[in-house]
Amino acid sequence: MAENLNDPAADLMETAAPPPGILVSGHFRQAHGYQTHRSFGTKDWLITFTLSGTGHYWLDGRLQPCEPGDIVLLPPGTPHHYATPEGSVWEFVWAHFMPLPHWSEWLTLPSEAGALHMIRIAQQSVRERIREAFQRMIRDSLDLDYYRSRLSLNAMEEILLLAQQAEARVKSGQMDPRVEQVLSHLSQHMKQRHSVEELAAKVALSPSRLAHLFKQEIGESVIDTLLRLRLRQASRLLEYTTMPIAEIADEVGFHNPFYFTKQFTAYYGKSPSQYRKEARKSAADESH
C-alpha cells in the first residue's frame, strides 16, 4: 500500500525520456543511487516489470514500493519519480510504447488522475512467461527489420494480455477450471461447430449450469465468446496473411462468407476487405 512520505523528487534534475515512438525497451539492474524524475511524465505509456530487488515510485508525495512480479503502468503525461532504495539492487525490464488501437481495452486507467496502475503477478509460471516476452521484445525492438519490429509489438501485446488476465482473475477470484477448459477448447478448435450441450458434456455439467457459470465468470455467453474469438482471429489473419477472405472465414469457423462479412463489419465497423486494406497501409507507412 502507498505511504505518505516526503517526496525525494523535489528540486531534482529532469530525466530525459526516449523520443516518442512505437516501442523502446530495455533491461536495467541498478543499485541505490539510481533514479528517474519526470515532472511532466512522458508522451507515451511506460511499463516496468520488476524481476528482483525493490524499486520505489513516488507520485504526488506518495510512495509505492514494487517488488518481484509487480507490473507498473504509467499513462502519458503522468508526473513520476522512481528510484532504487537504499540497501537494494533493483532489476527490472521496461518499455515506452504507443498503443496499437486494439490495445486500449487492456490498458486500464487508474481511478485517480495522475496515479500509477500496479498489477501484481502472483503465479510463477505467468511471471516467467512475461519475463520471456520482455526478453523477446527487447531483442526484436533493437532490429530495424520491419518483421522484427512487428514481432516486438506482438511480445508487448502478449505482456498486456497476460497482465490483464492476471488482474481479472484477482478481481473475480480464480476462474473455474471447467470454464477455463471450455475457453481453451474453443480457442483451439475455432473451425469446428460447437454447441453448449456438447461443451457441457466435456466438463460434466448440464447445459444450463455451464451457460450460467460461463456468463458469471466471463461476462458474456458461450456463443458470444466464440464469436469474439473467431472474429479476432480473423482480424489477425487479414492483417498478417494473404489468405483469401472466404478462406479466412472458413478457417475460423464461418462456413458462409457472407455471414462472416456481416458479423465482422458489425464488430469492427468495417468490412474484412477494408480492414485488410487499412492494416496494410498502416504497415507500409511504418516500414518507411
In tens, the pLDDT along 23-44 reads 888 999 999 999 999 888 888 9
Q: How confident is the model at residue 288 (pLDDT cuts 50, 70, 90)?
A: low
Q: Of the given ranges (34-38, 58-62, 97-101, 254-258), which has the lowest mean pLDDT?
A: 58-62
Cell reading at 80: 513520476
The pLDDT value recorded for residue 52 is 94
Segment 265-287 mean pLDDT: 83
| 161-176: pLDDT as tens digits | 999 888 877 666 667 7
| 121-152: pLDDT as tens digits | 877 778 899 999 999 999 988 877 888 888 99
- Residue 127 and residue 140: Cα distance in Å, rounded? 20
Query: Could you tell me the strand order of the sheet in which 70-74 lies?
Result: 23-31, 89-97, 45-52, 70-74, 117-120
Question: Is the overall model pTM greater than 0.85, yes or no?
Answer: no
- Residue 278 and residue 158: Cα distance in Å, rounded? 23
Residue with cell 480492414: 275
Cell reading at 120: 501484481
Q: Of the given ranges (38-52, 54-68, 124-138), which has the lowest mean pLDDT?
A: 54-68
Segment 246-273 mean pLDDT: 93
Distances (CA, A) of 203 to 130, 173, 211: 29, 20, 12
Q: Which of 92, 74, 100 is nearest to 22 (CA)?
A: 100
**pLDDT(200) > 90:** yes
Domains belonging to the chain, first-starting first, are 3-170 (2.60.120.280), 177-286 (1.10.10.60)
Segment 206-211 mean pLDDT: 94
The pLDDT value recorded for residue 247 is 94
Q: 3-state DSSP call for residue 270?
A: coil
The pLDDT value recorded for residue 209 is 94
Q: How confident is the model at residue 222 (pLDDT cuts 50, 70, 90)?
A: very high
Per-chain mean pLDDT for the chain: 85
What phi and psi, each to the nearest 5 degrees, are found at residue 262?
-60, -45
